[in-house]
């Protein structure tokens, strides 16, 4: 009698395991932020969830949490695309490569939760936000310098490719594949562009946190993401002085 009982018990356990529902994907962390909280006291995730603040990207994985300004931010939650498009003078800007989980960038206030158990394909880019149509249309187009090295498509190995963040036209390169808001370039191009930036930034005015579209093309926000470490163009004083860039 013991054997049938044992078989029955195992069958019940196996059936229970099969009937167990699969866990749902972890949702993006949310929080309720008091409207009395100062924007510059909030973390990246708190700021994006706040109804009275605006999260702005100022560099790869670098953000500021500020008070809303202008007709497309005041009285409007940053995540409300429908309300944004309902305003005649405003348009919804999708942003690019923004991750709503911890570990993908910070404001001046470090995240209070370091891990959520979830991940994004990429992160550290600008979040979606509501912008003025006129300002969007007036923004000067970004372009690569005309004397940049030509990509010939001859890629010896994957290490020849690097990914940088860029919000303008990308140079065609059949060797490297673009993905998730990043642009593929050759490492040789990065070395050349470092020297180009150093020379031009020594002569140009490069504000520490320029408004999107306001900076000269030589000082456009370009991120070097080689070996997993990023440095923002023209944000390093050594570039403005014409010296060598700080080591990454």
CA distance 88 to 145: 36
pLDDT given for residue 97 in this prediction: 74
pLDDT given for residue 103 in this prediction: 80
**Tokens read off for 94:** 């999708």
Nearest C-alpha neighbor of 45 from the set 114, 117, 131: 114
pLDDT in tens, the chain (248 residues): 454 544 444 444 444 434 444 334 444 445 578 888 999 999 999 999 999 999 998 877 789 999 999 999 999 999 999 999 999 999 998 877 788 888 888 899 988 876 655 667 667 788 999 999 877 665 544 444 444 444 444 444 444 555 544 444 444 444 444 433 344 555 555 565 555 555 555 444 443 333 333 333 333 333 332 222 333 444 444 333 333 333 33
CA dihedral 50, 52, 57, 61 (to 10 degrees): -30
Give residue limits of the domains in the chain: 39-138, 158-241
pLDDT given for residue 38 in this prediction: 94
Query: The pTM is what?
Result: 0.48
CA distance 248 to 235: 13
CA distance 243 to 241: 6
pLDDT given for residue 190 in this prediction: 59
Nearest C-alpha neighbor of 134 from the set 92, 91, 167, 194: 91
């Amino acid at each position: 009698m013991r054997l049938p009982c044992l078989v029955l018990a195992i069958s019940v356990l196996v059936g229970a395991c099969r009937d167990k529902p699969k866990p749902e994907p972890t949702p993006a962390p949310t929080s309720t932020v008091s409207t009395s909280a100062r924007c510059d006291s909030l973390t990246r995730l708190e700021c994006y969830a706040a109804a009275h603040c605006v999260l702005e990207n100022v560099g790869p994985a670098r953000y500021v949490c500020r008070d809303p300004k202008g007709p497309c931010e005041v009285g409007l939650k940053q995540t409300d695309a429908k309300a944004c498009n309902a305003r005649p003078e405003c348009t919804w800007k999708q942003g690019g490569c923004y991750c709503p989980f911890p570990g993908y960038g910070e404001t001046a206030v470090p995240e209070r939760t370091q891990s959520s158990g979830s991940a994004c394909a990429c992160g550290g880019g600008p979040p979606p936000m509501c912008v003025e149509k006129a300002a969007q249309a007036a923004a000067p187009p970004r372009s690569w310098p005309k004397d940049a090295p030509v990509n010939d498509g001859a890629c010896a190995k994957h290490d020849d490719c690097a990914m940088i963040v860029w919000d303008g036209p990308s140079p065609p390169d059949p060797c490297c594949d673009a993905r998730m808001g990043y642009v593929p370039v050759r490492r040789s191009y990065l070395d050349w562009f470092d020297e180009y930036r150093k020379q031009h930034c020594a002569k140009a005015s490069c504000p520490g946190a320029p408004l999107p579209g306001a900076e000269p093309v030589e000082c456009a926000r370009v991120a070097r993401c080689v070996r997993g470490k990023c440095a923002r163009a023209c944000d390093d004083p050594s570039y403005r002085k014409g010296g060598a860039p700080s080591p990454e």
